[in-house]
Structure 1
């Protein structure tokens, strides 16, 4: 998908470490800065980053306390990751090389810089530490860094279970989107006249797609977040014959599929599946 130039640079290794028995870590190459950014890469860095981010359970942005500036490529990468903001954790590495006062200033500066590129109302979780196999250099900040690093390791250890929950949530999101898509297409078909004025009615529906969305939302009690992007939906359906769109008959869709099956999955099967996960049925 990303070409041979990417494949020749993609390497894998196996390490006999307890925490990695249930995890796979993807270490992306460092982002470029200065004149190196103008040289570019031999593959689309953003596309590769997006592909892995979509399939990951946690995204860790690693910053050096001595290099907090966000380059153009780093800013572009963060914008790619924006839609996965709930997965993002930030690590401030080499925090033992500066004093406690300096660490506070660097921590605040990093949050300020991230606030300009990560557009989310929630404050991004930042772990501070020194992630290598040597003792911490600063005794004053050592207790704090040890607690922070332990928090990150606990979050990593919990990923296998949380990853299963995330996958189930993705299934729920997909089911809700499919259900919304079905009732939208059914509404467009039912709004079409039986004989004359089909082209005029189709244009009226497309021009008033916002009204259509609000009507379907109220009739079927659907959340706003379950609807597709209006502009993209309009582009996808404007070339279709609305009289040939899938139709719901007594809540039974053409082809033998039924909306009841989607409702049963959401209300019965998915909750039962969640209850089978370790720790999910405990308060």
Structure 2
């Protein structure tokens, strides 16, 4: 068995950090969301547009690490290795054939127990209740495992079914791509695992890369089982992996690729042991960085959510304004609004919002999305933004803009100040003594004979 001490050292599992450190910041973040963002979100039914409503459980949840990739590339084995579960009753089942058919969520708990997907979705204290919308067939494929482990006190791991390119999507019994999208949207780190024998790209993998568009900074590609190859063959496989992935990753800087063998056995002889150890340590440092920056990531996520809610409210307001302007005494309301939703560019709806919201046009939803949205929610059921104001509460839009421009950035800066403060206060005693000894010398300056004393 390989030595695992570097895992504990890199992830700082021996030092237990008090959870009260971020409690105050979490409460402030929840307060900003509930008082400034959620009222506008509810007034313009943002949940029905994006199918996403931020809950308290999601704000307080631990960082999520998602494992994706073809079948039998070592995803479950890698989780067993990180948690030290090999040869224990809690070890995840692994094998050469497709073994993981469920979405397995590994969480922290006081004792080892298994939780059914139906129970996980029904528990409002967890962040998995929105998964109910994918149906009973999916909940039967969802399972949670609670284990008392130091790493799980700081992060949640999600093992997914392997990508099988020769299987039809309908055979899974649930919307596979939509479920993957749900986990991708909430993942803080995505490990995309391959092995040298499974580098082929098919429709499922291609669809996954499309779903991960915009999340490239969170993707880490892992070439696992690297000690099965000689060094020269490994270089060829590494090049083949990039050649396969290149058409799918439309970014100037490709994701980081880690080459190693993530399992508890010793590396095979006559392979690059030192390289594999360094790659493994780099991957662990990446994971530790996500854990350390979890609060900053939550604040950034809530701010991004607030920007989307503001853009949505401005778009609905602009649609409503155009509708009121085009309505006449004898006009047909349905026909007027059908013309507006069919050609929004003719009425400068999206362009006017771009000027107000200071966002990129690539961040705006498609026009077809609002055609479907207003098909379910009639525009006459909404109020103009200027009427969403109260004498005591103020305007809903002003609150969101204040949260985006002032409150959330101030909360983020206060968090960084707290981290830097101990470093600034910790001064070596030797340096202080040396400084004190130097003071008299600095005061003893030669007198200027030309200056009046």
Which TM-score band (shorter chain)?
0.7 to 0.9
Task: Note the residue ranges of structure 1 that are not aligned, 5 or more in a row.
Answer: none
Aligned residue among 370, 373, 384 for 1:247: 384
Shift of 1:76: 4.1
**Is 1:149 matched up with 2:250?**
no
Q: Structure 1 CA distance, aligned partners of 2:374 and 2:285?
A: 47
Q: Structure 2 length normalisation: TM-score? A: 0.53
Q: Which residue of 2 aligns with 1:30?
A: 162
Q: 1:263 to 1:232 in 2, by over 3 A?
A: same
Q: Which has the larger radius of gyration?
A: 2
Larger deviation: 20-29 or 184-193?
184-193
How many residues matched? 279
Q: Would you say the 8 A contact 1:186–1:247 is kept in 2? A: yes
**Is 1:263 matched up with 2:401?**
yes
Q: Would you say the 8 A contact 2:341–2:370 is kept in 1? A: no
Q: Structure 1 CA distance, aligned partners of 2:291 and 2:218?
A: 14
Q: Would you say the 8 A contact 1:246–1:254 is kept in 2? A: no
Q: Would you say the 8 A contact 1:53–1:59 is kept in 2? A: yes
Q: Structure 2 CA distance, aligned partners of 1:51 and 1:247?
A: 32
Shift of 1:118: 3.6
Q: Which residue of 1 aligns with 2:221?
A: 90
Q: 1:52 to 1:229 in 2, by over 3 A?
A: same
Q: 1:224 to 1:78 in 2, by over 3 A?
A: closer
Q: Structure 1 CA distance, aligned partners of 2:340 and 2:135?
A: 42
Aligned residue among 176, 179, 191 for 1:45: 176
Q: Which residue of 2 aligns with 1:217?
A: 354
**Is 1:206 matched up with 2:341?**
yes
Kindly provide the CA deviation profile for residues 2-50 of structure 1, in whole angstroms up to 9, marking residues without a partner as x: 455544444443455543331111111222355x668933444333322
Q: Would you say the 8 A contact 1:65–1:95 is kept in 2? A: yes
Shift of 1:270: 0.3
Q: Structure 1 length normalisation: TM-score? A: 0.81
Larger deviation: 148-157 or 200-209?
200-209
Kindly provide the CA deviation profile for residues 234-278 of structure 1, in whole angstroms up to 9, marking residues without a partner as x: 3323676656642133xx625764322112101221012212435
Q: Would you say the 8 A contact 1:19–1:157 is kept in 2? A: no
Matches within 5 A, 1:78-157: 78-82=209-213, 84-157=215-288
Q: 1:220 to 1:29 in 2, by over 3 A?
A: closer
Task: Note the residue ranges of structure 2 that are not aligned, 5 or more in a row.
Answer: 1-131, 421-453
